[in-house]
Structure 1
Amino acid sequence: MALTMIMPGKHKNQDTQAREARAWLLTLTSGRATQGDADAFRDWLRASPGHEAAFADQKRLWQGLGPAVREELAAGAGASRRRAAVNGRRAFLGGALAASAAYLAFRPPLGLWPALDDLGADYRTAAGEQRRLALSGALEVEMNTQTRINVSATPGGGSLIELADGEAEIRSGATAAEVVAGKGRITARDAVFNLRYIDGEARLCCLAGTARLVHAQGVFDVGPGRELRYDDARVQPPVKVDPDIVTAWRQGWLVFDQQPLVQVVDELNRYRRGRLVLMNEQLGKRLVQARISLAQVADAERLIRDAYGARVTHLPAGVVLLS
């Protein structure tokens, strides 16, 4: 599906902005949105400062409807007996279904499709996809799977990168790289570093040169072969790591060194379509020492079955239960 929006004049009122924002919300939550729709949506956001605010207002409204719909449906039979007209019930059910669809777009079950926020990123990669960006100031970014990045210009003519989610290897030249992930801000000049930001935790690994993290907890310099982790509240001291393991994804490999299977499954899910769901807690505690080609990730359930005797159950939409 392709949607063409008519660009507004300079004096478009807030009501018109709200209507267009609702139209985009319905398009992106329809289940039929295309990459072309996502590109057109980003163009619409950039066309006017009021567009982003209008869309944020509509998004908050729809997000709030998700829990409200569940409460209404739970009230169920008692509430329906008090409704006087069949048409009223039908209108409610239609609204409930629309609200539920939008709610799922913000929180896709099992991560089976991109969340609505993903579509608004400047650059993003799908499951199993990697992408290279060449930005101003000889700045190069290698994006790993399921990564979202936003880029804006700095006063000095460089680029400010926001790693909203995922993983990237960043190579800076004479112009310092500036990267934000969560509550941390990383700067580096003539350096290479790998930055991973998933579920609110960041891992900064320096590969060459020096990377500096500025955080509410202080300023931290990270040298080659060392990695530090941080979240919004804490920064852990840098530790020595094997850069070859950290950057194995750049060579088409995933390397696991005595990691619990539950963590391995989480990582595999980032690279494959569908979803592996670990149902056995004891199985999830098994430690894994493995080197897996990215070409094998689609068949990961067979590898786990053969190595650990897991029972494999295939469900629709690429969901695989491991028990």
Structure 2
Amino acid sequence: MALTMSMPGRNKNKDAKDTATREARDWLLALTSGRATEHDAQAFRDWLRTDSRHQAAFAHQKQLWEGMGPAIQEVVAQGARSRARKPVFTGRRAFLGGALAASAAYLAFKPPLGLWPGVDTLGADYRTAAGEQRRVSLGNALDVDMNTLTRINVDHDAGGPVIELADGEAEIRSGATAAVVVAGKGRITARDATFNLRYIGGQARLCCLSGSLRLVHAQGVFDVVANRELRYDDTRVMPPVQVDPAVVTAWRQGWLVFNQQPLAQVVEELNRYRRGRLVLMNEQLGKRLVQARFSLAQVADAERLIRDAYGARVTHLPAGVVLLS
């Protein structure tokens, strides 16, 4: 008869991992129930910070749901086809009900058209909603002004706070103590400087407004001086170019400025500041160049401005979705 030796240390680690997995699954269900409150979101962030295993467990559960999304949708579609062919028994109905619930949880992570924030945004230390701007002061004369739909996380090393811009845009002011900011594959160091950093869809734009900055990237080390903007992604760094800082930071004064940009890009940017979604249905319309200055107070009425300026046909749908054709 074979004997299995118990390893106390290993069992203890396994129990802790199992507990983290179980709690992560509980948080997943709670946050996708549709009844989660801001208090729940704060409790979730606290839970994430207490143990690195919590972060790993939740990331794994999230990955499982994302991977199941297409399969869940196919199950629901098959169920609909089956109901058209034959009666549905109670067990089958219960199974489809579970599949629909799972599909709802999947949508919490992958909201269609970005109509609501995904559950994964709740884990950020600081975040802003559509149209919201806020200031975060981190001490040592380090201030961060967050633009709409922005997420940042704050950690600390021996030199002080390390800011991660996970998504969105922020203006950052550093004092005599060096500020360290990470966005994607870039690590920015600044002292007695002000800069605007935008990181959306894996694309970063780093604009120095005063002082000087240093970017460390896999492609090398780059210095950026005032009124210069440098763009990078995970694999490339573009040479710095001259920019108008007033245009880059217009959002801080409540404006959006577009200089000969395709309407498709303008609509994409406007969507970051409003509830609902503008959807371009006409490819040629999207190529029209825009020279405009929008007040953020006008963004909610952007479809009317586009209709009047470009003759677009406007169709309003539920949930704030507006078709432009």
TM-score (norm 2): 0.91
- Which position in structure 1 is the counterpart of 2:25? 22
CA RMSD of aligned residues (A): 2.2
- Among 248, 258, 261, the alignment partner of 2:260 is 258
Shift of 1:76: 4.6
Q: Is the 8 A contact 1:80 1:89 kept in 2?
A: no
CA distance in 1, matches of 2:56, 2:279: 37
Larger Rg: 2
- Which position in structure 1 is the counterpart of 2:303? 301
- Which position in structure 1 is the counterpart of 2:7? none
CA distance in 2, matches of 1:225, 1:24: 45
Shift of 1:32: 2.7
- Which position in structure 1 is the counterpart of 2:287? 285
Shift of 1:87: 4.1
- Which position in structure 1 is the counterpart of 2:179? 177
TM-score (norm 1): 0.91
- Among 199, 202, 206, the alignment partner of 2:201 is 199
Q: Is the 8 A contact 1:149 1:161 kept in 2?
A: yes
1:227-281 Cα deviation digits (max 9, x unpaired): 0110001111000010000000000000000101000000000000111111111
Q: Is the 8 A contact 1:172 1:190 kept in 2?
A: yes
Q: Is the 8 A contact 1:275 1:318 kept in 2?
A: yes
Extract unaligned runs of 5+ from structure 2. Answer: 1-12
CA distance in 2, matches of 1:291, 1:174: 36
Shift of 1:78: 8.3
Q: What secondary structure, in the 3-state scheme, does the structure 1 residue paired with 2:42 have? A: helix
The code of the aligned residue for 1:50 comes to: R
1:176-225 Cα deviation digits (max 9, x unpaired): 11011011111111111100000110000000011111111111111111
Shift of 1:60: 1.9
Shift of 1:91: 3.5
1:60 aligns with 2:63: yes
CA distance in 1, matches of 2:80, 2:240: 58
Q: What secondary structure, in the 3-state scheme, does the structure 2 residue paired with 1:90 have? A: helix
1:270 aligns with 2:272: yes
1:130 aligns with 2:133: yes
Q: Is the 8 A contact 2:195 2:210 kept in 1?
A: yes
Q: Is the 8 A contact 2:76 2:100 kept in 1?
A: no
- Which position in structure 1 is the counterpart of 2:147? 144
Q: Is the 8 A contact 1:257 1:288 kept in 2?
A: yes
Bigger CA drift: 29-38 or 127-136?
Answer: 29-38
CA distance in 1, matches of 2:76, 2:97: 12
Extract unaligned runs of 5+ from structure 1. Answer: 1-9
> Sequence identity of aligned pairs in percent?
77
The runs of at least 4 consecutive aligned structure 1 residues that moved more than 6 Å come to 77-81
The code of the aligned residue for 2:291 comes to: Q
CA distance in 1, matches of 2:107, 2:80: 24
Aligned residues: 313
Trace 1:1-323 onto structure 2 (pairs within 5 A). Answer: 13-76=16-79, 86-156=89-159, 158-323=160-325
- Which position in structure 2 is the counterpart of 1:3? none
CA distance in 2, matches of 1:270, 1:223: 28
The change in CA–CA distance for 1:79 and 1:155 in structure 2 (over 3 A counts) is farther
